[in-house]
Structure 1
Amino acid sequence: MQIRTHLESLPPYTPIEPFEILSARIGREPSQIVKLDANENPYGVLPAVRKALAEMDFPHIYPDPESRALRKALAAFTSVDEEYLLAGSGADELLDLLMRVFLEPNERILSCPPTFGMYPFDAELNAARCIEVPRNADFSLNLPAIRKAVDEFKPKLLFIASPNNPDGSLIPADVMDELLSLPLLVVLDEAYIEFAGENLGASISRIREVPQRDNLVVLRTFSKWAGLAGLRIGYGAFPKWLMPTLWKSKQPYNVNVAASVAAQASLANVDELKVLVEKLKDERTRLLSALGAVPYLKPYPTQSNFILCQVNGRDAAELKAKLAQEFGVFIRYFNKPGLRDHIRISVGRPSDTDVLIEALKAL
């Protein structure tokens, strides 16, 4: 028996671990852990979501394969007609679906690291190649190099995040317009858009442009702003010409009943979510200031629910390990080019910030 050859050399993706695993690893109760490594919403789901999950109908029946009720709610929320919308088991499923739909073996996508690691991972998983055009030192995009790579390698898809993970920067409107002029499909990952600007990023998002463009996809998730990371629910807006192929290519029952119910309840109570998002944005300001006062850290401005910091004069990986083992504080470290002297810290509750800053000062 022989597995596909390209999978033999596929490096595994390194996922974030949950409370119970972290608790067992360091010998601390979950209540004594400050988890700032995965950009989750520390306030969890709304009470209305818990109630909807407890009272949901027909969990023993397969879900609607078209997620019609959810897509109707999403259409009202995004101002994009539901015929352009597709829900998935997290935005990750939709990333993989796009690659399965478009890429033959050895065909190419384009990505701009440092950025979300699932783009190259999914490409390699699908026997495709990822052409990487590194960002500038300030994490801005290198447009001349992107144009050159498009001309030379003819990638089919460009995956770009705004706000970008891990630095939290937005793509300026004129730069985005330039990307949309390229001869490929632009996949704009807006996983963190609700933390940017005002009104959950409504004035910054490009999602309402999708019906007017043939080469723009916008992906979003409920994992970050809505606190549904554990339920796996995301969605995307796609050009109309692409929708028939996506419908027949996705798994039939890809969105489970609980995830759909939770997402709909979140949208029905979006004003409460806005309050929580504003609390996190206020705490982001406080955390950014506090990190800037730590002598060995240089925090970057951010439009997301995390802050990237350059670590000066000490080993970033060792700092991450000591925070976990000695203080029960978990942050993210990336052993990747351009990031080996950096750490990424999620915005938590005020009490989380207090514990983190005291730990950083003690170290």
Structure 2
Amino acid sequence: MAIPKALRRLIRNTVLDLDGYVPVEPVEAVADRIGKPVDEIIRLHMNENPYGTSMRVQEVLASFDHYQEYPDADQRVARERIAAYTGAPSQRIIIGNGSDELIDLLLLATIDPGDEVIVPTPTFGVYESRAPLFGGVVRRVPRTADFDLDVDAIIQAVTERTKLIFVTAPNNPTGNMPTTQQIVRLLRTGALIVADEAYYEFSGKTFVPLAREFDNLVILRTFSKWAGLAGMRLGYAILPDALAAELWKVKQPFNVSAAGLKAIEAVLDDIDYLRETVNRIKIERGRLFRALRKLNFLQPYPSQGNFILCRVTRGDAHDIHRRLERRGILVRKYSDPELRNYLRITVGRPEHTDALMAALRGMAGEI
């Protein structure tokens, strides 16, 4: 959209130059376009928990009657509960309106204009889309052919202006996990290493123990995936003590709603149930992977998340995406050249896997 000259001069250049993060098309719009009811759409494109959150969470939220009161700006009870869950001291924990807000806070607290942010690609797109807004210069470092971190290349890319290195563990969308040795090598560069553990509960592997040894490690986590609370926007960061104090300065005082804080408490009260749903998803992940491997036009990659990335070895990824969409099955496609011929499939319920595989087998002869 063309911006009037008089208005253009009032807008920051970093905003004018920003591409921004492009979200997927809303499910309601897709349903209208293909002529299907929303509740018949199979959502395998957003890495959501197909079982939803627990009944205890729903009951707590339904009975909560303090919406007229401001939430606890200190987040004390919820932080203490997260501390018990993670083993990290509560004073090192900050809760955000999704981990996306915490990414913004980290950039706001650390980046001066011209400072550099290293992003190993392909990965979660928010790091790259948000850093320029704060004056950061993004240095993309491609992963290896099998999507492993190229640690040597990352270290070579570090300069005196490097402030942050983002590492998703396991990586979205490729599903692979960096090793402890790789993270330690990056920590020794002196840059702030941000380990985004959004899918930790599906991998069972964490770098939290390293936070006791290194004071330049940040861990990001979320309740969106494993806990079925994507719609509540709840994430948290485990930070070095000194950095946590700086983030409290720039964080909005009431950034998490009272309902959100109560939801965190309820999730951690019902953790056995949610761990069981995570286990069901992990079992289904294995079944889906084995089924996808039998197709002669897709190459699935082993994953430690709740999703599987597939390379399209015959045909076109966007064509397969359209064919599935017409059947009411949504998977993730990409416009980035690195992933142009890849699809990411969220692990759903067994019946979702069955519907997906039936659709894929049905189109095999047409691709």
Fold match (TM-score > 0.5): yes
For residue 40 of structure 1, the aligned residue among 37, 48, 63 is 48
Equivalent residue number for residue 133 of structure 1: 141
2:331–2:344 Cα contact (<8 Å) kept: yes
Describe the superposition over 1:305-326 as per-residue Cα deviations: whole angstroms up to 9, x where unpaired: 000000012111111122102x
Q: Distance in 2 between matches of 1:262 and 1:15?
A: 25
Q: How large is the Cα RMSD of the aligned pairs?
A: 1.2
Q: Distance in 1 between matches of 2:241 and 2:16?
A: 37
Equivalent residue number for residue 171 of structure 2: 164
Equivalent residue runs for 1:65-76 within 5 Å: 65-76=73-84
* Pair 1:148-2:156 in alignment: yes
Amino acid at match of 2:130: D
2:20–2:130 Cα contact (<8 Å) kept: no
How much does 1:210 deviate?
2.0
Equivalent residue number for residue 353 of structure 1: 353
1:162–1:170 Cα contact (<8 Å) kept: yes
Equivalent residue number for residue 287 of structure 1: 288
Describe the superposition over 1:184-243 as per-residue Cα deviations: whole angstroms up to 9, x where unpaired: 1000000001001xxxx2xx2112432432100000000000000000000010000112
Equivalent residue runs for 1:208-227 within 5 Å: 208-227=209-228
Equivalent residue number for residue 95 of structure 2: 87
* Pair 1:49-2:49 in alignment: no
Describe the superposition over 1:135-173 as per-residue Cα deviations: whole angstroms up to 9, x where unpaired: 00101111221111004x631000110100001100011
Q: Distance in 2 between matches of 1:26 and 1:257?
A: 38
Equivalent residue runs for 1:1-363 within 5 Å: 1=7, 2-151=10-159, 154-196=161-203, 201=204, 204-325=205-326, 327-363=327-363
Q: Distance in 2 between matches of 1:106 and 1:26?
A: 46
Q: Distance in 1 between matches of 2:25 and 2:350?
A: 23
Q: What TM-score results when the alignment is normalised by the length of structure 2?
A: 0.94
Is the deviation greater in 5-14 or in 315-324?
5-14
2:299–2:310 Cα contact (<8 Å) kept: yes
2:42–2:352 Cα contact (<8 Å) kept: yes
Q: Distance in 2 between matches of 1:93 and 1:21?
A: 26
Q: Distance in 2 between matches of 1:85 and 1:218?
A: 10
Is the deviation greater in 267-276 or in 123-132?
123-132
User: Structure 1 vs Structure 2: percent identity of aligned residues?
Assistant: 42
How much does 1:13 deviate?
1.1
How much does 1:248 deviate?
1.2
2:298–2:314 Cα contact (<8 Å) kept: no
Partner of 1:284, secondary structure, is: helix
Q: What TM-score results when the alignment is normalised by the length of structure 1?
A: 0.95
Q: Distance in 1 between matches of 2:25 and 2:277?
A: 24
Q: Distance in 1 between matches of 2:126 and 2:295?
A: 31
Partner of 1:93, secondary structure, is: helix
Describe the superposition over 1:3-29 as per-residue Cα deviations: whole angstroms up to 9, x where unpaired: 011211211311134443332232211
Q: Distance in 2 between matches of 1:174 and 1:211?
A: 16
Q: Distance in 2 between matches of 1:51 and 1:114?
A: 39
Partner of 1:288, secondary structure, is: helix
Q: Distance in 1 between matches of 2:71 and 2:28?
A: 29
Partner of 1:320, secondary structure, is: helix
Amino acid at match of 1:351: E
Q: Distance in 2 between matches of 1:125 and 1:329?
A: 35
Ranges in structure 2 where 5+ consecutive residues have no aligned partner: 1-6
1:84–1:211 Cα contact (<8 Å) kept: no
Equivalent residue number for residue 3 of structure 2: none
Ranges in structure 1 where 5+ consecutive residues have no aligned partner: none
How much does 1:362 deviate?
1.3
Amino acid at match of 2:57: V
Q: Distance in 2 between matches of 1:21 and 1:213?
A: 46
Q: Distance in 2 between matches of 1:48 and 1:357?
A: 33
How much does 1:182 deviate?
1.0
Matched pairs, number? 355
Partner of 1:112, secondary structure, is: strand
Q: Distance in 2 between matches of 1:211 and 1:60?
A: 40
Amino acid at match of 1:34: I
